[in-house]
Amino acid sequence: MYDVESITKLLDPIFPGLFGVKVTEVGIEKVLGELELREDFASVGDVVHAGVYMTFADTLCVVGTLMNNPSSTQVVTRDSSTKFMAPAELGTVLKAEARAFHRGKSTMVWQVSIQSDAGKLCSIVTQTMQVLDPVEPEVPLPPITPPVALTPPPPPPPKPVAAEPAPEGEADKPAS
């Protein structure tokens, strides 16, 4: 089973660690974390970029999923939905709590509440995590058939043009 120290060692050399995510508590139903909002997290208008919230939440969901599946190290995000309530200020610290909604063998659903250090709710993220099976030896795939060319249907045949009736009295005249 993982603890905060082993999770920190796992995350530090990869993207979440380089990004600055700090996991402060781990469990099978709840994961807590903190993230200092550096100046380089700014978007246009000196607000925190939306991807910062999503990265923070995703990391906590991966950790929670690993807590429930300690023999697996292959966890991917299958679905993510982020709602933004209020901006946090650069230079402050975000605090987040991820809670499990569904803990299955192959999928887990987590909801993450992210707050500013002043306690204001900034974002709620709901994610479905997929636990991948161990990688099996590669099995050759059947050959790929070329795609069917999509050609437009032929144009419809021209409509027959009906001859206009000759004005009265002109039908009896011989053609000159």
Domains and CATH numbers, the chain: 4-131 (3.10.129.10)
Q: Which of 84, 94, 97 is nearest to 118 (CA)?
A: 94
Provide the pLDDT for residue 140.
67
Cα distance between residue 94 and residue 77, in whole Å: 22
Confidence of residue 157 (pLDDT cuts 50, 70, 90): confident
Alpha helical stretches, state H, 29-170: 50-68
Q: Write down the pTM of the prediction.
A: 0.75
CB 93 within 8 A of CB 71: no
Question: How much is the average pLDDT of 28-46?
Answer: 95
Which residues lie closer than 8 Å to 1 by C-beta, 6 or more apart?
Answer: 67, 70
**Sorting pLDDT into bands at 50, 70 and 90, what band is 97?**
very high
The answer, yes or no, to whether residue 59 has pLDDT greater than 80, is yes
Average pLDDT over residues 101-105: 92
Q: Is the pLDDT higher at 24 or at 140?
A: 24
Give the closest residue to 127 by CA, choosing from 80, 174, 169, 60: 80
Asked if the model's pLDDT at residue 77 lies above 90, the reply is yes
pLDDT at position 135: 56
AA identity, residue 52: V
pLDDT (average), residues 68-74: 80
Checking if the pLDDT of 42 tops 80, the result is yes
